[in-house]
Amino acid sequence: MRACVIRATGGLDRLQLADVPLPSEPLGPRDVRIAIRAAALNHLDLHVVRGLPVEHRFPHILGADGAGVVDAVGADVRSVKPGDRVMINPGVSDYTCEYCRAGEHSLCVNYRLLGEHVAGTLCESIVLPEQNLAIIPTVTPPLSWAEAAAFSLVTLTAWRMVVTRAQLKQGETALIWGIGGGVALAALRIAKLRGARVIVTSSSEAKLAAARQLGADVTLNHRTQKVSQEVRALTGKRGADVVIESVGEATWEESLRSLGRGGRLVSCGATTGPKVAIDLRRLFWYHWSVLGSTMGNDAEYREIVRLLGSGELRPIVDRVFPLEQVRAAFERLDQGEQMGKIVVEVAQ
């Protein structure tokens, strides 16, 4: 089958389209084989290409997000059947460790992400446990394969950050950095669903205009405006109740300066660097919470799929590339010019 692989880590010139063996048979009792139709890119994929402290079996197939058609099921699979259109939850858990038994699958001691720790979705066929699949809900207009593929990773990540970790409430103010990225856009949607006032930032006026169309209450250009001063001014000096962070070193100090009393800062990434400082006197005096978050558990995944079905969490697709142009798709992601998800069409 055709697949987007790397045979070594490095730059985007490592990306290759290759003919690789189909997933091995036979299927385990709860395994499902899916014919992939579309796969969406995430920043995770860039990190995998450049090299993470993970041992790969080369050639390594990239891609975490995907959607496709079930084409075979193991003997004990009950939740899906051949012909079903499904979306993939990219986090694979063991369902046996103490965290899984407590329902916290993204804390699993054997947690693995598709395309990072195991073979990914940028290929024509993949075998996954049935727990990692959800039937694509019927909405009007119907979800395209690209939209279905674009949904899972960022929406699950944003849901856990905003709802489970930060517990954003109606009437509170949330600050979201870097609107345009998938997690930030999903966080905007979710924060508005919670009834919060949402301030978003970007260095692109076009992205800020698009964010206003999507419901952002206030937009700030972080290249030309001092974000923390603006947030203080917009909140009567209170500061934001919640800050959604995935940028890391470049925004950390401004994130803290924007955070009000009792504020919660949630981080799911560190694209500009992982080392930050905090003044503990401000942490305890203002009762701040600094929270980490990665992906989400099965109950959270079911909840976001339910809300997708009620038309409330439809993902935003930036552009769709054919598999032959996967390198161009990665380059667009790397340049950060997208407004929404970049999707690769694997099969028509």
Q: How far is the CB of 108 from Zn ion (least distance, A)?
A: 3
**Size of residue set near Zn ion by CB under 5 A:** 5
Stretch that binds Zn ion, among 1-9, 97-105, 217-225, 270-278 (CB under 5 A): 97-105
Cα separation of 65 and 37, whole Å?
11
Stretch that binds Zn ion, among 3-11, 86-94, 113-121, 242-250 (CB under 5 A): 86-94
Cα separation of 309 and 248, whole Å?
33
Q: How far is the CB of 94 from Zn ion (least distance, A)?
A: 4
Q: Which is nearer to Zn ion, 100 or 149 (CB)?
A: 100
Query: Alpha helices, DSSP H only, in the chain?
Result: 43-50, 98-101, 145-159, 182-193, 205-213, 227-234, 252-258, 280-285, 298-309, 326-335
Stretch that binds Zn ion, among 96-104, 281-289, 293-301, 327-335 (CB under 5 A): 96-104
Stretch that binds Zn ion, among 13-21, 94-102, 247-255, 281-289 (CB under 5 A): 94-102
- The answer to whether 89 and 112 are in contact (CB under 8 A) is no
- Contacts for 247-250: CB closer than 8 Å, 24+ residues apart: 247/177, 247/178, 247/271, 247/272, 248/272, 248/273, 248/274, 248/276, 249/273, 249/274, 249/275, 249/276
- The answer to whether 123 and 4 are in contact (CB under 8 A) is yes
Q: How far is the CB of 222 from Zn ion (least distance, A)?
A: 38
Q: Which is nearer to Zn ion, 14 or 112 (CB)?
A: 112
Q: How far is the CB of 243 from Zn ion (least distance, A)?
A: 30
Does 100 participate in binding Zn ion (rule CB under 5 A)? Answer: yes
Pattern 187-216, binding to Zn ion, x per CB under 5 A? ------------------------------
Token pair in block for residue 26:
């036979």
Q: How far is the CB of 293 from Zn ion (least distance, A)?
A: 17
- The answer to whether 177 and 255 are in contact (CB under 8 A) is yes
Q: Which is nearer to Zn ion, 100 or 208 (CB)?
A: 100
Q: How far is the CB of 104 from Zn ion (least distance, A)?
A: 8
C-alpha neighbours within 13 Å on the C-beta side of residue 128: 36
Stretch that binds Zn ion, among 89-97, 115-123, 190-198, 266-274 (CB under 5 A): 89-97
Q: Which is nearer to Zn ion, 52 or 102 (CB)?
A: 102
Number of helical H runs and strand E runs in the chain: 10, 18
Q: How far is the CB of 100 from Zn ion (least distance, A)?
A: 3
Does 108 participate in binding Zn ion (rule CB under 5 A)? Answer: yes
Q: How far is the CB of 117 from Zn ion (least distance, A)?
A: 14
Residue from 46, 97, 214, 290 touching Zn ion (CB under 5 A): that is 97
Cα separation of 197 and 168, whole Å?
10
Stretch that binds Zn ion, among 100-108, 130-138, 219-227, 329-337 (CB under 5 A): 100-108
| Planar angle of CA 273, 47, 20, nearest 5 degrees | 175
Q: Which is nearer to Zn ion, 96 or 203 (CB)?
A: 96
Q: Which is nearer to Zn ion, 172 or 298 (CB)?
A: 298
Residue from 2, 30, 94, 328 touching Zn ion (CB under 5 A): that is 94
**Cis status of the peptide bond prior to 26, with omega within 30 of 0:** yes
Token pair in block for residue 337:
């010019």
For 83, the 3-state DSSP assignment is coil
Stretch that binds Zn ion, among 11-19, 107-115, 141-149, 153-161 (CB under 5 A): 107-115
Listed in sequence order, the residues at least 6 apart from 193 whose beta carbon sits closer than 8 Å to its beta carbon are 307, 312, 313
Q: Which is nearer to Zn ion, 45 or 300 (CB)?
A: 300
Cα separation of 276 and 210, whole Å?
31
Which residues sit at the interface with Zn ion, rule CB under 5 A? 93-94, 97, 100, 108
